[in-house]
A = this chain, B = another copy of it.
Amino acid sequence: MITYSSFFSRVAENQQGSAIRKMGVMALRDPDLISFAPGYPDPATFAWEAFREISADVLGSRDSTTLQYGPTRGLPNLIDAIVHIAADRGIKTTSENVMVTTGSQQGLDLLGRILVDPGDVVLVELPAYTGALAAFRNAGAALVGVRQEEDGIDMDDLDAVVERERLAGRRVKFLYVVPNFQNPTGLLISQAKRRRLLEWAGQRNVLIVEDDPYGSLYFEDSATVAETRPIKADDTEGRVVYLSSFSKTLAPGFRVAWVIAGEPLIAKLDVTKQTQDLFTGALDQRIVFEAWKRGVLERQVVKLRGHYQQKRDVMERSLAAGLGDLVTWPEPRGGFFLWVALPRHVSADDLLPRAIEHKVIYVAGSAFFVDGSGRSLMRLSFSLPPIPRIEEGIRRLTELVKEEVSRHPESVGT
């Protein structure tokens, strides 16, 4: 075999795989393992029967657009549907400002390619979603972290970071932010802070990339739709690029998501997407469009709010019962994640191999921090496992953490 190393680009040499994806693959291999690692939706909730009917209808009608090459920006009907969905979230837009993407991951990747030259600064929350970090890093971005408070980004830190980076001669391209039930923390940025962020971005001339996969999955016992209003809804000058997806509400297997942005940005994204995959799967777009048109999506999100709220309740109760005096977490008011702070001297990274022995896994918090911090944090996903598995998984985790603490009793309460 030949040696490939002399052929690889610098991007290829420097790339890192996703810790979360690796955990996901591992979980698939061992059915006894209880995985709180990947943020997968629960397939028991998928609208299987509706999808079966819809696919039979659209394939039965033999409309060539269902299986033919299609426009790079997306199926026109679906784009119109997205304009309506956006309006329901308070975002006034037009079809010219929308592009369909092959999952939001593609949207993030395309944004990296059109906005980032190697060395440009992208601001990210501490912690932030790993898939976004990987996409921006592959474009050569210098990822610079900004502290979070309970109600979202620390504005003072944000401004100080930008000041510092600009003084150092670097261009600050955008701030990446997940305001609704953030991955990994589950935090909801307050509406007051969203308005401050938008105002600040205008003053500092920085773009905001707002990623919103979980916004419609708020829990009705603790959050309202008004609290999930996107930053984009108040954007009058095209400052905000908004991403959302059908992956968490309908199903990820369809790979259908979207970007809303100023027309010059959409035009650049369009040409870049052309070279990347020509267009997003046509049958998938048709099924998603029909699911919206037939009211499946609307019924689905109502169901999911209750479903995931119940799973969150089970995980919180199990965790409180087992480890209530040892760990803390901010209550998730929507989304898929519980963000757990272990006793300060317990490392989630070091604990992981033993967790796997105990047949339970999570994602170590450090994966989400660009500054190397987060060692005593872990992300637990309550979305996928059935309720008895959540209870059993937390029992295993409880045992594990208690063992660890008993080895290092000095760590508690310090």
Contacts and interface: CB of A to CB of B under 8 A. Distances in A.
Interface of A: 1-2, 4, 7-12, 15-18, 21, 24-25, 28, 38, 40-41, 43, 46, 48, 51-52, 55-56, 59-60, 62, 64-72, 102-103, 105-106, 109, 113-117, 120, 131, 134-135, 138-139, 173-174, 205, 207, 237-239, 247, 251-255, 262, 264-265, 268, 270-272, 274-284, 287
Instruction: Specify which of A15, A114, A278 lies most central, judged by the most chain B CB atoms within 10 Å of its CB.
Output: A278
A69 B38 contact: yes
Nearest to A202: B2
Given A2-B239, A284-B281, A48 B62 contact: yes
A11 B253 contact: no
B18 A274 contact: yes
B272 A255 contact: no
Contacts of A114: 8-9, 11-12
A134 B284 contact: no
Contact of A10 (B117, B252, B275, B283): B117
Instruction: Specify which of A15, A106, A139 lies most central, judged by the most chain B CB atoms within 10 Å of its CB.
Output: A15
Contacts of A270: 17
A255 B65 CA distance: 13
B103 A277 contact: yes
12 contacts: A7-B115, A9-B116, A11-B114, A17-B271, A43-B68, A48-B67, A52-B56, A55-B59, A134-B274, A135-B275, A254-B282, A281-B281
